[in-house]
Structure 1
């Protein structure tokens, strides 16, 4: 079984108090855990994919513009990894097992070459961390399920805008997608 950690959108705009679409305290509370899980995956020899939302400034055609304020604008500090995850990334980013993938949609698979890269490396299990539990993490999990991957969710390394949305996502991961929930 080959694993890949997929770290989803743990950026300034989604986590910092003054982020453009922040989950605030809930996302900040997972900072140490997401850094720890990432470092452990690296130490275990797993592949690591940082899949990061990237929007063009003023893109009025993107469907999210009707739903959310502008966020994770390409070239802005809003796309910088947040907190303890940033130095972990800096320390490992030059390794051939570590990837940065820009994404435009909720799912890390939508419009990217993530699936191809995983299949080339014979990855069978994806481990998901990041934000937001009920949006980008959930959509990534749904696509992973539909593509035939085994899914593990580190529940203490994902966060959402509300406890209700977070719990909905956890239930969906487990009961609809058959994901293994890891504390």
Structure 2
């Protein structure tokens, strides 16, 4: 049986809440229950759960995102807190050996992290991606996963972006360029 890992990308206050610093707003809020449900189901199936969360230093003017976006997911702020019922899941299961939190500085959950090493140690072959933003961090994580040889599954009802057009572009690219399996 193929081992799977669920990668939850940036589903935090700053990306989801109405007053978040770089929010997808309603489009991200409507997936709140679904993302929590998918996470619980993956956990019950014995999958590994990785929370890949943006982490920025407010004074880091060298980071490329500082020229593109307003400051967001700043270390030590409430903007980095998980949004909605996903926060409850993490609070309940954070000490489980299958649940991991990893800070990331770039769009991809692989860039500058030990995610690939951790997945290979656990013999994970398939990654299930959820979170925000479909066309940025989810897509860049999927591109790196593709280049590293992982099978990719996307739960379409558990990812979102700032616009419907950006989301549709990402789903199309994920399926037709990266060969991801798109699940409802």
TM-score class, shorter-chain normalisation, is over 0.9
| Partner SS, residue 124 of structure 1 | strand
Task: Tell whether 2:82 aligns with 1:74.
Answer: no
Corresponding residue of 1:153: 154
- Report Cα offsets for 1:71-119 as digits up to 9, x if no partner: 0000100000001110011111110000000000000000000000000
Task: Tell whether 2:126 aligns with 1:125.
Answer: yes
Partner Cα distance (1:140, 1:146) in 2: 10
Corresponding residue of 1:166: 167
Q: CA deviation at 1:58?
A: 1.5
- Report Cα offsets for 1:40-96 as digits up to 9, x if no partner: 000000000000000001110000011000000001000000011100111111100
After TM superposition, the structure 1 = structure 2 runs for residues 1-183 of structure 1, keeping only pairs within 5 Å, are 1-183=2-184
Gaps of 5+ in 1: none
| Partner SS, residue 142 of structure 1 | helix
RMSD: 0.3
Q: CA deviation at 1:180?
A: 0.3
Query: Which stretch has the larger CA shift, 121-130 or 82-91?
Result: 82-91
Partner Cα distance (1:108, 1:37) in 2: 19
Partner Cα distance (2:139, 2:59) in 1: 26
Partner Cα distance (2:122, 2:29) in 1: 32
Partner Cα distance (1:117, 1:48) in 2: 11
